[in-house]
Amino acid sequence: MKETILLKLGELVLKGANRRSFEEKLLHNARRRLKPHGKFQVYIRQSTAYIEPLDDACDMDGAYAAMERLFGVAGLARSYPCAKDKDAMLEAAKVYLADKLRAAESFKVESKRSDKSFPMTSIQLSQYVGGELQEAFPHLRVDVHHPQLTVYLEVRDYAAFVHADPDPGAGGLPVGIGGRAVCLLSGGIDSPVAAWMMTKRGLGLEMVHFFSYPYTSEAAKEKVFDLTRKLVPWCGRLTVHVVPFTKIQEEMRRVVPEEYFTVVMRRFMMRIAQQVAQRTGCGALITGESLGQVASQTMQAIGCTNAVCTLPVLRPLIGMDKEEIIRIARKIDTFDTSILPYEDCCTVFTPKHPRTRPQPDEVEAAESGLDVDALVAEAVDGIERVYFNPEK
């Protein structure tokens, strides 16, 4: 038998009659993420997904790292399968967990008996294996409350599995089970976190980035691509729709009163993102806005940007402060890229005194001198699409 990765399912087990569709989506996502690491058999039994290598060429380290970022998984562990026999499990623990047992000072054994035909109770099995392990590793002391190492024995349908403490999984729901949405992606800290958070809730994403060359540089665009690469291990395949935004901003500078520049710019972004959503079959827009963080994120300004949308706008960061957002950015490894000193289009032509409580009629009057439909259509027609695939 070969080492097997066990994935413990999270919210999926609570889905009742719809549970099977969630499990199938999880399996589909797992198989795709595993492709670069070899050939695996992937299946679900008793609220656990099994990742079994089919040959010795499989990269188990790479596969495990990929599964750590698989949404829908509450916890995971590398395990060793063996016969459903107390002595086989004891021997597997001695050999497979030898290094961990030598390194630990205290331990306990925890057993789970999913196969109720197994002749020992869970407590009896734990006591037997625990006693034998303590004799084999005499430096160990038993600590059932705060052990440095827990040895897990799982007696399941087809085999028993031995493993050490599981690692936390990514949580959430399988990517794509909730549909698809367009995420506005700048080069800042917030929008990658918003993308990650909504992917965790089961959405597949299309990314939209607004690019204002020569006011923003090619380095700024490459920074956004680097952020996308950081998100791909969590989100799966992503497409970045790069929108040429220079003409719109130049026309705005010519026509729109400076104090309304930011909110009018946001309205253009939402109109364009909505057209991308309609063309790609997406059902919502996602932004990284946090209430009150900047002038365009007051209730009144958000109301004015919402007014041009018919699709729902999801704002997962709306009630978070900056420290909370930065904490997640560090966790998903986007923070250091986000703070690189390349400006995005949101910082181009920033007004000195933006209107923080704009009213809809004022904003409509401010943009009345623009041919909004023509500018939006030209920008959408000029979109460049860049594809990121984790399977390659």
Band (pLDDT 50/70/90 cuts) for residue 16 is confident
pLDDT of res. 392 = 60
The average pLDDT across 88-97 equals 97
Whether the predicted pLDDT of 12 surpasses 70? yes
Distance CA 327, CA 333 (A): 10
Q: What percent of the chain has pLDDT over 70?
A: 97
* pLDDT on residue 391: 67
Q: Is the pLDDT of residue 294 over 70?
A: yes
Average pLDDT over residues 51-60: 95
pLDDT digits (tens, 9 = 90+) for 147-172: 999 999 999 988 999 999 999 999 99
Q: What pLDDT does residue 7 have?
A: 97
pLDDT band at 346 (very low <50, low <70, confident <90, very high): low
The whole-number average pLDDT for the span 223-252 is: 96
pLDDT category at 305 given cuts 50, 70, 90 is: very high
Domain 4-170 class, CATH top level: alpha beta
pLDDT at residue 344 greater than cutoff 80? no
Give CATH 3.40.50.620 domain extents, the chain: 180-388
Going by C-alpha positions, the residue among 133, 219, 226 that lies closest to residue 185 is: 226
What CATH topology corresponds to 180-388? Rossmann fold (3.40.50)
Q: Where in the chain is the domain with CATH 3.30.2130.30?
A: 4-170
Q: Is the pLDDT of residue 345 over 70?
A: no
Token pair for residue 109?
Answer: 């054994």
Buried-exposed string 39-62: b where 16+ CB fall within 10 A, e elsewhere: ebebebeeebbbbbbeeeebebee
- State the average pLDDT over residues 307-321: 97
Is the per-residue pLDDT at 249 higher than 70? yes
Measured CA to CA, the distance from residue 340 to residue 324 in angstroms comes to 20
Q: What is the mean pLDDT of residues 209-231?
A: 93
Q: What average pLDDT does the segment 50-67 reach?
A: 96
Query: Across residues 25-48, what is the average pLDDT?
Result: 95
